[in-house]
């Protein structure tokens, strides 16, 4: 799926620099002041909803925080999660709708209980619109993905095999495979339940239309950071957000999913100060212990050097995510990417050959430098892994603030063939959504 522009009031974007974005990036467009006024009355309600399922972020279950960690200053606007208070609420099941009533009004499209309002994001596969649920009195992000563009940009169009050919026929035509993959991904996302992964609320699809429609939970503060920026995070801020990313990625890897496009614009910030991972547009599912990939995907400035070879070879999907997390952590503390060039070939050469350099300002700790260097190890075999990142002194604050064990925040997910077939409920027509009128 394309990037989830699931931000409410001030969605931000990556810079227009060619090395920090590709066509698959989502551009998070800000809402106008009139619309902000419309949303203001519901901010308090959304804050309450966001607090229901915030991540543990900081200690093993049942283990009290150390005195040192408890006395350390935290963000004044960051709320404790229910899990930090000793309890956890399961996610609400994904809404499934068999029939949909559509009314094309003067100001927006009425889609059952949803009022589809202004466009709040745009990507290569479609747009994202703000959707107001009149029943729950909450806002959601309704993503409209172009199925035709998805297949075309993934390179899956090809001529069918000639009749009478001796070659065996594919079980599915190649042009259908990308959609089958999307439906499988939807089936998985409907069951994923983690505090640091954006939740899919509802899916609507019309087989006669190009649009595939997905309602995601709304993250009220948009991307965690705009890159480049002259106002990077402090180490304390970077640590808090990075720990969220580590837990989210560990959860995805546990469920055999590699994200492949981790970057600040795909990390969305909630009112509680916690980060959730979004945009599974180029993600891959794998079998066994790791994904062996051979195709390039993602954003150039966040791509690992092993992806930039002149000959085809396979590489570790988990290691790609770790590299992108290293670039993201560098962005957190320096406000820019570690490797930059306006020309893609020169950028690739720098990623493959240039060692990571640290600016004189701001000054960062030796532990943080060590972690970034180990994550940006150009050799994927020796690159640090997620389990070792979780134990790194900078992440754990010298062991005083350990992260939860894998078994404490990961739950097994098994998706059956029936669930894949029922991952999307078909609807009559959504053609009017594409031309939603704005005020």
Alpha-carbon distances, residue 245 vs 165, 251, 268, 295 (angstroms): 49, 10, 10, 24
Are 133 and 249 contained in the same domain? no
Are 205 and 145 contained in the same domain? yes
The three-state DSSP-derived secondary structure of the chain is CCCCCCECCCCCCCCCCHHHCCCCCCEECCCCHHHHHHHHCCHHHHHHHHHCCCCCCCCCCCCCCCHHHHHCCCCCCCCCCCCCCCCCCCCCCCECCCCCCEEECCCCEEECCEEEEEEEEEECCEEEEEEEECCCCEEEEEEEEEHHHHHHHCCCCCCCCCCCCCCCCCCCCCCCHHHHHHHHHHHHHCCCCCCCECCEEEEEECCCCCEEEEEEECECCCECCCCCCCCCCCHHHHHHHHHHHHHHHHHHHHCCEECCCCCHHHEEECCCCCEEECCCCCCEECCCCCCEECCCCCCHHHCCHHHCCCCCCCEEHHHHHHHHHHHHHHHHHHCCCCCCCCCHHHHHHHHHHCCCCCCCCCCCCHHHHHHHHHHCCCCCCCCCCHHHHHCCHHHHCCCCCCCCCHHHHCCCCCCCHHHHHCCCEECCCCHHHHHCCCC
What local confidence, expressed as pLDDT, does residue 140 receive?
A: 94
**For the chain, what is the radius of gyration of the CA atoms?**
22
What local confidence, expressed as pLDDT, does residue 105 receive?
A: 76
- Catalytic site includes residue 261: yes
Does the residue 2 lie in any domain?
no
Helices 235-254 and 317-334: crossing angle, nearest 10°? 160
CATH number for 299? 1.10.510.10
CATH number for 155? 3.30.200.20
One digit per residue, pLDDT tens: the chain, 439 residues?
Answer: 444 445 443 343 334 333 444 333 443 444 444 444 444 444 433 343 333 333 334 333 333 433 333 433 344 344 444 333 333 455 566 665 545 566 787 778 887 788 989 888 776 567 888 999 888 899 999 887 777 877 776 555 444 444 444 444 444 444 446 667 677 768 778 778 899 999 999 888 777 667 778 899 999 899 999 999 999 999 999 999 999 999 999 999 999 999 999 999 999 998 889 999 998 877 777 888 888 877 777 899 999 999 987 766 788 999 999 999 999 999 999 999 999 999 999 999 999 999 999 999 999 999 999 999 999 999 999 999 999 999 999 999 999 999 999 999 997 556 566 666 666 655 444 343 333 334 4
Considering the candidates 19, 205, 261, 272, report the single residue annotated as catalytic. Answer: 261
Are 334 and 307 contained in the same domain? yes
What local confidence, expressed as pLDDT, does residue 158 receive?
A: 45
Residues tagged in the binding site annotation for ATP: 143
Are 385 and 429 contained in the same domain? no
What local confidence, expressed as pLDDT, does residue 433 receive?
A: 39
Does the residue 77 lie in any domain?
no
Are 176 and 47 contained in the same domain? yes
What local confidence, expressed as pLDDT, does residue 391 receive?
A: 98
What local confidence, expressed as pLDDT, does residue 126 receive?
A: 72
Does the residue 86 lie in any domain?
no
Instruction: Kindly report the pTM of this predicted structure.
Output: 0.70
Does the residue 8 lie in any domain?
no
Are 214 and 335 contained in the same domain? no
Are 137 and 213 contained in the same domain? yes
Are 352 and 395 contained in the same domain? yes
Are 134 and 277 contained in the same domain? no
Domain span at residue 330 reads: 221-409
What local confidence, expressed as pLDDT, does residue 350 receive?
A: 97
Does the residue 76 lie in any domain?
no
Residues 6+ apart with CB under 8 A from 409: 55, 56, 194, 195, 247, 250, 251
Does the residue 4 lie in any domain?
no
Are 194 and 241 contained in the same domain? no
Q: Are strands 138-146 and 200-205 parallel, antiparallel or unpaired?
A: unpaired
Are 262 and 399 contained in the same domain? yes
**Domains in the chain, number:** 2
Contact predicate 26/4, CB 8 Å: yes
What local confidence, expressed as pLDDT, does residue 329 receive?
A: 98
Does the residue 60 lie in any domain?
no
What local confidence, expressed as pLDDT, does residue 425 receive?
A: 54
Are 173 and 320 contained in the same domain? no
Does the residue 249 lie in any domain?
yes
Q: How crowded is residue 146: how many other Cβ atoms within 10 Å of its Cβ?
A: 19
């Amino acid at each position: 799926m394309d990037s989830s522009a699931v931000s409410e009031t001030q969605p931000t974007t990556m810079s227009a620099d060619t090395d920090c974005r590709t066509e698959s990036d989502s551009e998070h467009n800000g809402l106008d002041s009139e619309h902000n006024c419309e949303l203001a009355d519901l901010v308090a309600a959304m804050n309450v909803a966001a607090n229901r399922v915030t991540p543990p972020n900081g200690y093993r279950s049942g283990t009290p925080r150390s005195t040192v960690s408890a006395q350390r200053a935290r963000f004044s606007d960051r709320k404790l999660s229910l899990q930090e208070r000793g309890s956890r609420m399961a996610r609400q099941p994904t809404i499934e709708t068999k029939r949909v009533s559509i009314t094309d009004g003067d100001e927006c499209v009425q889609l059952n209980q949803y009022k589809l309002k202004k466009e709040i994001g745009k990507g290569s596969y479609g747009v994202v619109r703000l959707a107001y649920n009149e029943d729950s009195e909450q806002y959601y992000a309704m993503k409209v993905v172009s199925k035709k563009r998805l297949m075309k940009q993934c390179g899956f169009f090809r001529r069918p095999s000639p009749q009478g050919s001796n070659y065996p026929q594919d079980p599915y035509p190649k042009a259908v495979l990308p959609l089958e993959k999307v439906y499988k991904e939807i089936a998985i996302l409907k069951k994923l339940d983690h505090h640091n992964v954006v939740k899919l609320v509802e899916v609507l699809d019309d087989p006669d239309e190009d649009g595939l429609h997905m309602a995601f939970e709304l993250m009220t503060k948009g991307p965690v950071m705009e890159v480049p920026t002259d106002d990077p995070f402090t180490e304390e801020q970077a640590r808090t957000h990075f720990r969220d990313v580590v837990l989210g990625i560990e959860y995805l890897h546990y469920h055999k999913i590699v994200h492949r496009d981790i970057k600040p614009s795909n990390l969305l910030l909630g009112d509680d100060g916690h980060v959730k991972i979004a945009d599974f547009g180029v993600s891959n599912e794998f079998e066994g212990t790791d994904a062996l990939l051979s195709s390039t995907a993602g954003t150039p400035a966040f791509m690992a050097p092993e992806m930039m070879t002149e000959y085809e070879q396979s590489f570790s999907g988990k290691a790609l995510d770790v590299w992108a997390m290293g670039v993201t952590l560098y962005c957190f503390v320096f406000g820019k990417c570690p490797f930059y060039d306006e020309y893609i070939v020169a950028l690739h050469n720098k990623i493959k050959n240039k060692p990571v350099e640290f600016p004189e300002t701001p000054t960062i700790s030796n532990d943080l430098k060590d972690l970034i260097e180990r994550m940006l190890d150009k050799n994927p075999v020796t690159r640090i892994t997620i389990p070792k990142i979780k134990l790194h002194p900078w992440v754990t604050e010298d062991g005083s603030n350990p992260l939860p064990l894998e078994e404490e925040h990961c739950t097994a997910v098994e998706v059956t063939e029936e669930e894949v077939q029922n991952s999307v409920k078909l609807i009559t027509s959504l053609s009017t959504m594409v031309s939603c009128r704005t005020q």
